[in-house]
């Protein structure tokens, strides 16, 4: 199945993917209005340029790998996390916010939210565009959505 991959050779660490991701999640059509003054909760994160990182000139975007054997789904105590057609999604009504998945994800791609339920990349399947916004917004084609 098609997944989101990042090629760190071309990742510029501009962080725009995070903003396009957060924007896609809002469902609004104006980015400035959607994100102005809002605390960002992107499901994709640039790593490598944190303070104290010893990586030199290497940054890369990390988002849910939609693992073949997903530990998060296995560990979910309420059945809120499921894998359908290769996409792991969270049912926010079922999630009780126990964060077992947050602890078990080896990539750190699931995050808690202020509302209690967890949040993760769902490949934009339910957004307006229906296709990953981080990929479309990457200025250097470092993030790709493809079969491998």
- Closer CB to other proteins, 19 or 66, in the complex: 19
Rg value, the chain, Cα? 15
112 and 97 in contact (C-beta within 8 Å)?
yes
Q: Which of 2, 14, 62, 67 binds other proteins (CB under 8 A)?
A: 14
57 binds other proteins (CB under 8 A): yes
- Span of 4-12, 77-85, 90-98, 109-117 interacting with other proteins by CB under 8 A: 4-12
Shortest Å, Cβ 64 to other proteins? 22
| SS3 call for 3 | strand
What is the CB neighbour count within 10 angstroms for residue 39?
A: 7
48 binds other proteins (CB under 8 A): no
DSSP assignment string, 92-113: TTT-----HHHHH-TT---B--
Q: Which of 10, 99, 107, 145 binds other proteins (CB under 8 A)?
A: 10
- Closer CB to other proteins, 132 or 137, in the complex: 137
5 binds other proteins (CB under 8 A): no
User: How far apart are the C-alpha atoms of 59 and 38, rounded to whole Å?
Assistant: 25
User: How far apart are the C-alpha atoms of 52 and 14, rounded to whole Å?
Assistant: 18
- Closer CB to other proteins, 53 or 78, in the complex: 53
User: How far apart are the C-alpha atoms of 38 and 23, rounded to whole Å?
Assistant: 10
Shortest Å, Cβ 115 to other proteins? 22
Q: Where does this chain bind other proteins (CB under 8 A)?
A: 9-10, 12-16, 18-20, 23, 31-32, 35-36, 57, 137, 139-142
């Amino acid at each position: 199945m098609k997944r989101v991959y990042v090629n760190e050779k071309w990742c510029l660490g501009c962080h725009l993917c995070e903003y396009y991701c957060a924007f896609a999640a809002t469902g609004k059509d104006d980015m400035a209005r959607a994100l102005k003054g809002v605390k960002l909760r992107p499901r994709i994160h640039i790593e490598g340029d944190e303070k104290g990182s010893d990586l030199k000139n290497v940054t890369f975007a990390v988002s849910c790998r939609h693992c073949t054997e997903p530990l998060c789904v296995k560990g979910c105590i309420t059945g809120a996390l499921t894998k359908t057609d290769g996409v792991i999604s969270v049912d926010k009504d079922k999630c009780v916010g126990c964060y077992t998945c947050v602890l078990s994800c080896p990539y750190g791609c699931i995050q808690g939210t202020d509302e209690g339920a967890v949040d993760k990349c769902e490949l934009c399947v339910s957004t307006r565009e229906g296709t990953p916004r981080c990929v479309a917004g990457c200025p250097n084609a470092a993030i790709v959505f493809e079969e491998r």
